[in-house]
A and B are shown apart, each in its own frame.
Chain A
Amino acid sequence: MTDATASGPVRVGERSLLGKLEGSVSWILLGLVGLLLPLLDDSYIGVIAQRAYIYWILSAGLNLVVGYAGQIAIGWVSMLTLGAYTTAALTAGTATDPWHPYLALIAGGVIGAAAGVIVGLPALRLRTFYFAMTTLGFATIVTQVALAWKSVTGGGVGTPGPVFPWPFDPGWGFYYFCFILAALATWMTANIASSRFGRALVAIRDAEVAAEASGIAKPRLLIAVFLFAGALGGVAGGLFASLQSYITPDAFTFEISVLFFIAILIGGRGSILGPALGTIILTALPEFAAPLVQWSTFLYAALLLVIVLVIPGGIADLLDYKNRRPLEQHREIVPRPDLLGRVLGGDGRSRGKSTIALRDIELHFGGVRAIDGLDLEVRSGEVHGLIGPNGSGKTTTLNVISGYYRPNAGQMTLDGAELPFALPHARAGYRISRTFQTPRLVGAASVLENVMIGGTVHGHGTFTESILALPRHRRDERHLKAAALQALATVGLESLAQVRADRLQHSELRFIEIARALMLKPAFLLLDEPAAGLSAEEIRRLGNLIKASSREGVGVLLVEHHADLIFDICDRVTVLNLGKTLAAGTPNEIRSHREVVSAYLGA
């Protein structure tokens, strides 16, 4: 038994180390080419390379916004514009006394960061297209202002770009400056991407409600990312102004935004190497196809259309050989309830008793009373079944407890203290976790990463610490990974840890959701039809697992259609009808309850 748990993590560890090496080789090669490029002593190639580095500094940050967080920020070229004009104007002294170019570059980054947040704010509340349009509008407005504010920007005539003094003076000095900053941007974004913040971003992109249930606060995280991506864009702008040596509003065409986008999409969402290669290739390509220069934007746009329609997953998906390997056909899920104690931490008896209590809860949708004066108690160490016909308010009740709906009346308490309404991401702090009727998982992430998302709130390091890969960040990662493997072993799926979640069968997804919920070391576990779509044998194993977790002190609320599962494992059952309690009691009492039978049979 101990063998199985000990050997599992080790095997997995080796495989991912190999994966890391494969990735590193490409980066080392790229780095060497970059370092040694000056030996060619070809200034034309040098300029192209500098432009590629500058574009990559911007797209590295944008990659987090677009590729990871899934926010379609199509007008990010505005950060380049802002950074360029800020650096140029401060250096030239058109608005203030002239600044030192390096200080002006930093100011460009700061302005970019501020603009990133301003443009990003709507993403916290608005639908995708609105956000896309906001960024596009911002880009349009920035250009209009650059044209109109003649005293500072020189209007349509333009303004000279900054010249950086030694050690990064024009020529190869500036080349290395761009190179170093590009390498730094790569390193920092890679750190974020592989941290709990990176996984949280992807979760927001592909499984937003599950992210909230795991305690991920979307606003704070997105603002941090917009800040970071805006700063990188601003710095890229300052460098761009220097490279161009003279900037006009024409230099910042929308075409550049499209280029960034294609680079990210073609490279593949959720990859860093892909978009980096994409940026380099797209920057260099037009230089070697001179007759096509006037067609370049058209071709970029056509390429974008083709990518979106034909390979929305990008090249990274096409090259993902590891995930083409066929999986074993007849897989079995064999949960190990005996491991629950370790996953949940400590032994069951040492955990305190606690109770979630709902009193007189009412919830209306328009004129419909979805919940109509409901009392309910979920106690630790018990499995509480919630059954009833369609539309009787079962899932709605679960959504009230987990904070998705705000009831119109009533009280909800946890051990006597008020449990605030409508704050889904705050539930993780109370160690209340849940699963969903349709599994909400990140299909493009590995099973392991999906489960790790459930433990996001247990990390201690800050966003900045993750950017710089400081010790606390590394410790968080180690702990989360170990805990996730443990949780996977508990539900019986550790052999699939490295597989992309969207390759799994439906029943496996249900168990992964439970593993993710266990990552929170929950005091309460809310399960929304966990048996739907499972085979009879799987339902039996699921029942044992649920039962065992309640014996470890977890309070379980089980919403289910499968009457037999309810009657098998529940300590208490509440039957809802039309938003009210029709009956409550032990399974045996309910089974013989005439009204319940008729509510189910409609007789």
Chain B
Amino acid sequence: MFASIVSYGLAVGAVYALIGITYNVMFSASRVFSFTAGMLGMLGGVLGALFITEWGLPTIVGLVLVLACGAVLGIVTEIVTVRPVLKSIDQHLYVLSTLAFALMIQQLTAIWWGTDARPFPRLIPIGPGWLDQQFWLPMLACAVTIVGLELLYRKTLIGRAFLAIAEDAYAARALGLPETGLRMASYALAGMIGALAGFSGAEILLAFFGNQAILNFYGFVPVALGGMGSNRGAVIGGLALGVFQQAANFLVGGIFAAVAVFAVFIVVLLLRPEGLAGAATARRV
């Protein structure tokens, strides 16, 4: 039972971690938290099941299509819901615009895909137990994403431009960096990461339109606790959250697990609003 708690917990936790990274990538590029992170995760599962189970496409083609859809949705998010409200970012209208967009996509999914959870195909028939795809696939996806992002940030000029914009968008603009293009690219990247999260975790979470709200919240918890913009915090926090949740589910039941996560979330944020690992920022008068 211990093994199953840990393996299941780590798998779900890896999905949370990836959603957390999705939040971070969008935030770094625009100082905007977008409710589309959970939507991307939800769609990763639904589209994967659609392409592979329903349409019968080969797994690899299905995955590429899912990532492409994620990228396109990321770009649409940037153009439709983020860019128009960036000028007055203090009014926080992005909270509502991204939420509205995410809900629209969720409802389209509910209408066309249905409101029932459907199974996600087993892609690599090995297992059962530890070797089962549902356990290692999310972890693998998470590892690939982290390594990929690291290479991007360290080895490519566009990756450095992402870092530059995240640190000081004004200076980046003055240097003549193509701010808008880079922001769109970041959102496309976030779209792919979010879709990958959903795709890799869908055998556990199923292809279900209702995953959106759950992923939105549980994917945000590690970001809030680990400090926003910190991918390391998101990964550690996500895995810990996943294991804690599974342990509580098995040992004391779902009510307690849900309430406990929420209580920890609120208490930590009230005591350390910048997150456990984040640094405090000075207020401006």
Contact = CB atoms under 8 A, between A and B. Distances in A.
B103 A254 contact: yes
A127 B216 CA distance: 17
Chain B at the A interface: SS class: helix
A204 B159 CA distance: 39
A404 interface: yes
A148 B95 contact: no
A547 to B, nearest CB: 27
How many B residues touch the partner, as a band? 35 or more
A404 B81 CA distance: 35
Nearest to B217: A137
Contacts of B107: 295, 297-298, 301
Contact of B269 (A122, A140, A404): A122
B262 interface: yes
B285 A209 contact: yes
B96 A72 contact: yes
A298 B255 contact: no
Interface stretch (B57-65, B84-92, B147-155, B178-186): B84-92
Nearest to A399: B285
A134 B258 contact: no
A566 to B, nearest CB: 22
Contacts of A261: 96
A133 B217 contact: yes
A148 B258 contact: yes
B66 to A, nearest CB: 22
Interface in A287-312: 294-295, 297-298, 300-302, 304-305, 308-309, 312
Interface in B98-123: 99-101, 103-104, 107-108, 110-111
B106 to A, nearest CB: 8
Contacts of A321: none
A302 B104 contact: yes
Interface in A103-161: 118, 121-122, 125-130, 132-134, 136-138, 140-141, 144-145, 148-149
A484 interface: no
Nearest to A134: B266
A125 B104 contact: no
Contacts of B30: none
A74 B255 contact: no
A258 interface: yes
A365 interface: yes
A305 B262 contact: no
A512 B110 CA distance: 53
Given A141-B258, A258-B103, A305-B81, A298 B96 contact: no
Interface residues of A, number: 46
Interface string A235-258: 000000000000000000011001
Contact of B96 (A127, A254, A304): A304
A72 B282 contact: no
B129 interface: no
A503 B244 CA distance: 54
A149 B256 CA distance: 10
A301 B111 contact: no
A265 interface: yes
B258 A145 contact: yes
B85 A309 contact: yes
Given A254-B103, A301-B103, A302-B100, A121 B270 contact: yes
Contacts of A395: 285
A125 B270 contact: yes
Name which of A72, A137, A148, A309 has the most chain B CB atoms within 10 A of its CB.
Answer: A137
Interface string B20-38: 0000000000000100000
28 contacts: A72-B92, A72-B96, A122-B270, A125-B269, A125-B270, A128-B92, A129-B33, A129-B92, A133-B33, A134-B265, A136-B217, A137-B262, A140-B214, A141-B258, A209-B285, A254-B213, A261-B96, A295-B107, A297-B103, A297-B107, A302-B100, A304-B99, A305-B80, A305-B96, A309-B97, A312-B93, A365-B282, A436-B285
| In the complex, the 10 A-B pairs of residues with the closest C-beta atoms, listed nearest first | A301-B103, A298-B107, A305-B100, A304-B100, A129-B33, A128-B92, A148-B254, A137-B217, A301-B104, A144-B258
